[in-house]
A and B are shown apart, each in its own frame.
Chain A
Amino acid sequence: MSFRKSADILKHAGIYVQCRICGDELVPAGGFIKVGGALSFTPLGVVRAESVNRFFAFDGQSVYVSADGKSFSYLNALAGDDPFVVEELENGAARAAAVCGKNAVLHDGSSFVCREYGANLKYGVMHSGRLFGADVEDGLALRWSGAGGVCDWARGVQASGYVRLDPERGEIIGINKLGDKLVAVRRFGLTVLSAYGNCENFRVEATDTECDDIYRGTAGVAGGRLWFCTVSGLKYFDGERIRTLGHPLAKDVYSPESAVCFSDKYFLICKSRFKGGKAVLCVDGDGESFIADAAASALCAADGLYAYCDDGVFKFGTGARYELFADGVNFGSGGYKTLTGIFVDGSADIEISNGRVTRGFSGASGKIRPRLRGKNFCLRITGDGAVRKIIAVAEVRNEL
């Protein structure tokens, strides 16, 4: 004896590439669209300085500048790891400082000067008119400049200074602003610093912020949360404590490299088992996640989200094709069954496999009849428009 059984394929979805489920519908989530050709160098980091209307890119040896984020020109030598860009006002005029170690390229939008700025920092951020950064030579020391900005390193209780953080949580691997606080991202946790006004009032806040090994370069702030990746997965700090965020792609992604936050979403360059290489994971505050198909070496948040790949410059937007992969569709039974039909409310390209045989239906809409026999089925759905429902129907043999 056998009976008919149906399965909602969208509920079996395991991998979302540039798509997501919204109100039981499969909708495109956007993806990276090519906007420019390949750069002459491999950028390790790209940062937008809004005040001088320029993009700065670093390749470990030099700094490059661009007005549109697509084509860069060589600016100056700036060798070293962990470069950063900060913006400040100097004599009433905005300027950006591209800093790497002891050297800074100070750029006002039309001219620049390269010189030592008085400190040796990495992971710098501007906060209350001061430059905060981790000391290159002492990974536990958090330093701050005087209120004069990037180049103000006169020593004093009212001027520049430092605090050496407790060694338990390891070296500083990033500094982020979270609301009115500064958060030093450490190897094994976070340290929150309240640093407003006079240095005498600076305070290291005692918070429950220990966690497992954090990946360097993965911290970013979106939606009032500090997001970062640890060896046990994606976590966020909400200002009070660290919480773990489970998401559907947690088991697919690995080797996180760097992250950028844009439009309240967290974008992480990592590797995807499904894509078989580099991709960009996008997660929002509700734990909805999808993979954007871009083997990026750097991301940059500006008027949009830019991805810098070997084959060109891409910008996140709508119109990209999506791909949804659902496996382990067995209709609740371990035995053989025959997949007789699939009802598609919308239009998409569908591939169905039983592990040996794959059948493809281009532009599937309405009812298709795969007539495929097997124990477990995998479906790959690709398209560029919303699909309201995909219901598979199978003849399942009664095992009793």
Chain B
Amino acid sequence: MNFDIIDITEEQLKGLSVVQMKMLRTAQQKKDALYRKAEDDLEVFRVLYLTAGMKNSNLYADKRAELYEDRDYETAVLADNLIYNMSLNEPSGGGDTGDPGGDERAGYIVDYSLTYNERYVIVRDYYLAISDPDERMALYAADDVAKRYLSGYYTTLYNVLATYSK
């Protein structure tokens, strides 16, 4: 994939975390979709305005300018949000970068487009950051989000965390 939604070098690209890479990829896909949609809409308009006999009018040029202006505005919003979220190393949730289902209550990144391995690592690191093993286990046992998020891996992580509390 060619990343052009923001200016980023090969070196910087290699230094991105899994989550940052995912955010970049998602934002780039959204940008590409916006460009494709603008071109598709413009092509539909081109056919319509030609069949309407308005070939030598301002309509096509002005419609193109309008579509491109909207597209560029939405792309700029995407890029701004992407830069902000990448600086935090986590998505802001709610779809600024197109990530559906962000759950801010969880305290860790909830991104269902990640693989289970990636989710496992994110949740494990979050709970291992809690120093008190008992509190950690109590919180994890009550974490309904993690149950849905990790599915079968929930039990695996439970067993792993339990080994630290013994």
Please tell me if the beta carbons of A199 and B59 are within 8 angstroms of each other in the complex.
yes
Residue pairs across A and B with CB atoms within 8 Å: the count is: 45
**Complex Cα distance A201/B59, Å?**
10
Determine whether the beta carbon of A200 is less than 8 Å from that of B57. Answer: no
Report the nearest B residue to A163, measured CB to CB: B57
A398 vs chain B, min Cβ distance (A):
68
A161 to B60, CA, bound (A): 11
Q: Complex formed: what's the CA distance from A221 to B52 in Å?
A: 25
Is A115's beta carbon under 8 Å from chain B?
Answer: no
Q: How far is the CB of B107 from chain A (nearest CB, A)?
A: 47
Rounded to whole angstroms, the CA-CA distance of A202 and B53 in the bound complex is: 9
**B143 on the interface (CB 8 Å rule)?**
no
Greatest chain A CB density within 10 A among B53, B56, B66 is at B53
* Residues of chain B lying within 8 A (CB to CB) of residue A367: none
Q: Which residues of B are found within 8 Å of A162, using beta-carbon distances?
A: 57-58
B20 to A: closest C-beta gap in Å: 39
Contact: A203 with B54, CB < 8 Å?
yes
CB distance from A182 to the nearest CB of B (A): 13
**Does B53 contact A203, Cβ atoms closer than 8 Å?**
yes
B52 is contacted by which of A155, A156, A165, A204 (Cβ under 8 Å)? Answer: A204
Does A400 lie at the interface of the complex (its beta carbon under 8 Å from any beta carbon of B)? no
* Docked CA distance A155–B57 (Å): 12
The residue in chain B whose Cβ has the minimal distance to the Cβ of A164 is: B56
Does A357 reach chain B (CB closer than 8 Å)? no
Query: Which of the residues A156, A158, A164, A205 comes within 8 Å of B57, measured between beta carbons?
Result: A164
Q: CA–CA, A187 to B56, complex, Å?
A: 19
* Per-residue interface assignment for chain A, residues 124 to 159, with 1 indicating a CB less than 8 Å from any chain B CB and 0 otherwise: 000000000000000000000000000000011110
B45 proximal to A (CB < 8 A)? yes
Q: Does B62 contact A (CB under 8 A)?
A: yes
Query: Does chain B have a CB within 8 A of A206?
Result: yes
Among residues of A, the one whose C-beta sits closest to the C-beta of B57 is: A163
Contact of B58 with A204 in the complex, beta carbons under 8 Å:
no
B53 touching A200, Cβ below 8 Å: no
Task: Tell me the smallest distance from the CB of A80 to a CB of chain B, in Å.
Answer: 25
Beta-carbon contact of B52 and A202 below 8 Å = yes
Decide if B63 is an interface residue (CB 8 Å cutoff).
Answer: yes
Mark each residue of chain A from 193 to 220: 1 if its CB lies under 8 Å from any CB of chain B, else 0.
Answer: 0000001111111100000000000000
Q: Is B62 a contact partner of A156 (Cβ separation < 8 A)?
A: yes
- Give Cα A165–Cα B45 distance, bound, in whole angstroms: 19
Contact A157 B54 (CB under 8 A): no
Q: Find the B residue at minimum CB distance from A162.
A: B58
Contact B59 A200 (CB under 8 A): yes
Given contacts A157-B59, A161-B59, A199-B59, contact A204 B54 (CB under 8 A): yes
Instruction: Report A271 CB to chain B, min CB distance, Å.
Output: 38
Q: Given A156-B66, A157-B63, A206-B53, decide whether A200 and B58 contact each other with a Cβ distance below 8 A.
A: no
Q: How far is the CA of A206 from the CA of B63 in the complex (A)?
A: 23
Residues of A within 8 A of B65 (CB): 156-157
Residues of B within 8 A of A156 (CB): 62, 65-66
- Nearest chain B CB to A377 CB, angstrom units: 58
Contact (Cβ within 8 A) B54 A163: yes
B53–A205 CB distance below 8 A:
yes
- Knowing A155-B58, A161-B58, A199-B59, the reply to whether A204 touches B66 (Cβ < 8 A) is no
Q: How far is the CA of A163 from the CA of B53 in the complex (A)?
A: 9
Contacts of B66 in A (CB 8 A): 156-158
Chain A residues with CB under 8 A of B58:
155, 157, 161-163
The answer to whether B63 touches A202, judged by C-beta atoms less than 8 angstroms apart, is no
* Nearest neighbor of B67 in chain A, beta-carbon distance: A157
Report B49-90 residues with CB < 8 Å from chain A CB.
49, 52-54, 56-59, 62-63, 65-66
| Contact call B59/A204, Cβ cutoff below 8 A | no
Is B45's CB under 8 angstroms from A161's CB? no
How many angstroms from the CA of A201 to the CA of B54 in the assembled complex? 10
| Mask of A163-202 contacts with B, CB within 8 angstroms, 1/0 | 1110000000000000000000000000000000001111
Among residues of A, the one whose C-beta sits closest to the C-beta of B53 is A204
A272 to B66, CA, bound (A): 56
Shortest CB distance B138–A (Å): 60
Q: Please list the 4 inter-chain residue pairs (A to B) with the smallest Cβ-Cβ separation, ordered nearest first.
A: A204-B53, A163-B57, A164-B56, A157-B62
7 other A-B residue contacts (CB within 8 Å) besides A163-B56, A200-B48: A161-B59, A163-B57, A165-B56, A200-B59, A202-B54, A202-B57, A204-B54
> Could you give 21 example pairs across A and B, Cβ below 8 Å?
A155-B58, A156-B62, A157-B58, A157-B59, A157-B62, A158-B66, A161-B57, A161-B58, A162-B58, A163-B54, A163-B57, A163-B58, A164-B57, A200-B45, A200-B49, A200-B59, A201-B52, A202-B54, A202-B57, A203-B53, A203-B54
